[in-house]
Amino acid sequence: EAVRSFAMKQYQRGNFVVIGGDWNLRLAKTEFPHQTEDKYLFWVHDLPDDAFPSDWKIVADPNVPSVRTVHQAYIPGDNYVTIIDGFITSPNVEVVAVETINLNFAHSDHHPVKAHFRTINKTN
């Protein structure tokens, strides 16, 4: 709620808002193949639909997972993977591109996500 409140105030002031990070909430409703038992998925919850106004954008690469379970070493197709890393943008920000860099979880239980944004100048 604190992040949302801060973001809303900034947008109301005319600022361009891009919030990025590990949300610890699923940003994209995708299902990647896995064999992970349900007992290891206690942490998986979706970002609520009403977390931000409907004209705000959730920005995530739907093709590459950004996080994996840590109950075992990474085994593709075995570990549960999903998307919890990404960005949320205000309506005055255009998403040019977003990409999750697939490193096969070699260095972490997360993959890096990069994005390119540009401002939208509305003239009346």
pLDDT in tens, 41-94: 999 999 999 999 999 999 999 999 999 999 999 999 999 999 999 999 999 999
Residues of the chain above pLDDT 70, percent: 98
Which pLDDT does position 121 carry in this prediction? 78
Average pLDDT score, the chain: 95
Q: What are the φ and ψ backbone dihedral angles of 9, each rounded to 5 degrees?
A: -65, -40
- How far apart are alpha carbons 102 and 32 in whole angstroms? 14
Q: Over 60: is that where the pLDDT of 123 sits?
A: no
Q: What is the mean pLDDT of residues 103-117?
A: 97
Q: Over 80: is that where the pLDDT of 11 sits?
A: yes
Query: Which string of b and e fits 78-115 if b means at least 16 CB within 10 Å?
Result: ebbbbbbbbbbbbeebeeeebebeeeebeeeebbebeb
